[in-house]
Amino acid sequence: MNAIILAGGMGKRLKPLTDDKPKPMIEISGKPILEWQLLWLKSYDIKQIILCTGYMNENIREYFGNGEKLNMNIQYSIEKDPLGTGGALKNSESYIEPDSNFLVLNGDIMTNMTPPDLALAPSSSDPNLIGIISVVGLRSPFGEVEIDNGCYISKFAEKPLHDDYWINAGVYCFNHEIFSYLPSSGSLESDVFPVLATENKLMAIKQSNIKWRSIDSHKDIEEANNEFGNL
C-alpha cells in the first residue's frame, strides 16, 4: 500500500525553528517528525511513500533521498506554490494507481496508532464510501477542576482526554475517487471533507488508548519529546 505524507507546511507558529527547515523536519528526540513517521509506517511494512513537499523541499530531499537508507521507496510530489492540503494531494494523483486504496497523513503529527486499521475497516459493504478518517479524543488544553454538589473540590485532572468529543487525527485511508473531489488549490479539512460528509462518503475510526500529538507549537515539541522519546 502507498502512503502519501502532506509535508509542505511552513510552520509559521514554530519560528525561528522553521526559518531554515520545513515544519516536518523539526526534530523530536533527535529525529525529524518525518523520519518518525516513515519508521512508523515501515514498522507496518508500508514502504511505498509519496512526499508532498513545498516550502524548502530541498531540505527534505537532501535528508531522505530516494529512501534507500531506510529501505523504503520515496517519491516526491513538489508544489511550486502553496496549494493547501487538498491541492497538494491533488498534485500527487499521478503517483497513485487507479482502483487502489492508499493512506494519507499530515506531516506534523506523531502517533503510534495502527495504520492498517484504516485499510481493513469494514468498507466493502458500502460502495458509496470514499474515505476513512482516524479520530482521537479531544484533550483539554487546561487542567480541569472537578467540584461536588457542595462546591468542594473533589479532583484535579491535568489536561484530561474527553472521549465524548472527537477530533480529526490527520491519518486517512482513501480510494482513488477522492481525486475527483479535490481542488487544484484548497483545504481537505475545509473544502473537501464537509462535502463528502453531506454525501455520506466518509467513515470514522475512533482511536483510543494510543499516543497522538499534533506539533503546532513550541510546547507541543517539548511534550512530544517527553511522550515519544522512548519509542
Q: pLDDT tens digits for 62-90?
A: 999 999 999 999 999 999 998 999 999 99
pLDDT given at position 123? 54
Residue 231 confidence (pLDDT): 53
Q: Which three cell numbers stand for residue 231?
A: 519509542
State the Cα–Cα distance between residues 137 and 153, nearest whole angstrom: 25
Average confidence (pLDDT) over 127-133? 89
Task: Provide the pLDDT for residue 62.
Answer: 96
Domains and CATH numbers, the chain: 2-129+168-228 (3.90.550.10)
Residue 112, C-beta contacts closer than 8 angstroms, at least 6 positions apart: 40, 210, 211, 212, 231
- Secondary element (H or E) of residue 74: strand 73-78
Query: What whole-number distance in Å separates Cα of residue 175 and Cα of residue 98?
Result: 9
- pTM recorded for the entire structure: 0.90
Model confidence at 186, in pLDDT bands (50, 70, 90)? very high
150-156: average pLDDT: 77
Q: Alpha-carbon distance 154 to 137, whole Å?
A: 23
pLDDT at 92 > cutoff 60: yes
**pLDDT the model gives residue 124:** 56
Place of cell 508544489: 79
DSSP string of 24-63?
GG-EETTEEHHHHHHHHHHTTT--EEEEEE-TTHHHHHHH
Positions marked active-site:
159
